[in-house]
Amino acid sequence: MAGQSYTVDFWAATAGSGSFRAAVVGLTGFNHVFNSATGYTEFTFNFTATGISSQLLFHAAGTLFFDDISVEPTGVGVPDGGTTVSLLGCALFGLAGLRRKLGC
């Protein structure tokens, strides 16, 4: 959505030296250079959308591996989806049944 800020979060590793660039088309992302082989390292960057959709690009030079890429609105928590309420309801229902069985 235009004007909304987003956080891009991902993990990258390399088998040797190399570099990569991550960017949203038309906007500045960032560059990173690996001087030697590394394990997975977490990277993040923020951008503000300029239209109703944005294209995220990764460009790698060398042998690089990417994992767990996510794009989330900045400042917005992940919605619960009612899981807590459902679990609480089941727990209370179970306690009521246990109370009845024990005759409390």
How do residues 20-34 score in pLDDT, each as one tens digit?
998 888 887 888 999
> 101 or 68: which carries more pLDDT confidence?
68
pTM: 0.65
> 88 or 74: which carries more pLDDT confidence?
74
Predicted confidence band of residue 37 (pLDDT cuts 50, 70, 90)? very high
- Cα dist. 44→7, 9, 22, 31, 36 in Å? 7, 4, 10, 11, 21
